[in-house]
């Protein structure tokens, strides 16, 4: 796992933990798990993200990913969800007919949390002790 990423004019360590569910929280991910892994890997490769961990339960996904700071968490969620959702519904028409007749595979919302190398307390102390 790479701790920092170097860019043209910056260095970053942006890591996000995402959680999202299929629409209506249908427990269908056990059927499409291999495809989800494949599609997430393709998405990560395309956008330059690094998947640090991926856990797929029957009714939700945990994704821990490192990204460049040019991608907002909302962009990252959209990238993974839109590409995989489109292809899952194309590959599994029987699932679309049974569970997702209204279109779209993933629920609109998601959870995102950040991680970092230092705690909030360390950042606050650094800012408070810095001469201005």
pLDDT, mean of each 10-residue run, the chain (132 residues): 66 89 95 98 97 96 93 97 96 91 90 81 78 60
Q: How far apart are CA 88 and CA 26, in angstroms?
A: 14
List the domains of the chain with CATH numbers: 5-129 (3.30.70.1290)
The model's pLDDT over 98-123, given as tens digits with 9 standing for 90+, comes to 888 777 999 999 999 998 767 778 77
Using CB atoms within 10 Å of the CB of residue 59, give its burial: 0 to 12 exposed, 13 to 18 middle, 19+ buried: middle
| Backbone region of residue 53 per phi and psi (left: phi > 0; alpha: psi in -120 to 50; beta: other values) | beta
Question: CA triplet 83, 89, 93: central angle to 5 degrees?
Answer: 160
């Amino acid at each position: 796992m790479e701790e920092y990423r170097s860019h043209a004019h910056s260095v970053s360590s942006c890591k996000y933990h995402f959680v999202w569910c299929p629409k209506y929280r249908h427990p269908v991910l056990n059927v499409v798990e291999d495809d989800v892994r494949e599609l997430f890997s393709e998405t990560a490769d395309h956008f330059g993200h690094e998947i640090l961990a991926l856990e797929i339960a029957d009714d939700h996904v945990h994704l821990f990913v490192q990204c460049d700071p040019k991608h907002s968490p909302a962009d990252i969620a959209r990238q993974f969800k839109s590409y995989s959702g489109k292809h899952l519904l194309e590959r599994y028409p029987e699932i679309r007919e049974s569970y997702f007749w209204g279109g779209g595979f993933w629920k609109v919302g998601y959870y995102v949390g950040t991680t970092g190398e230092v705690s909030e307390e360390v950042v606050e102390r650094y800012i408070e002790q810095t001469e201005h």
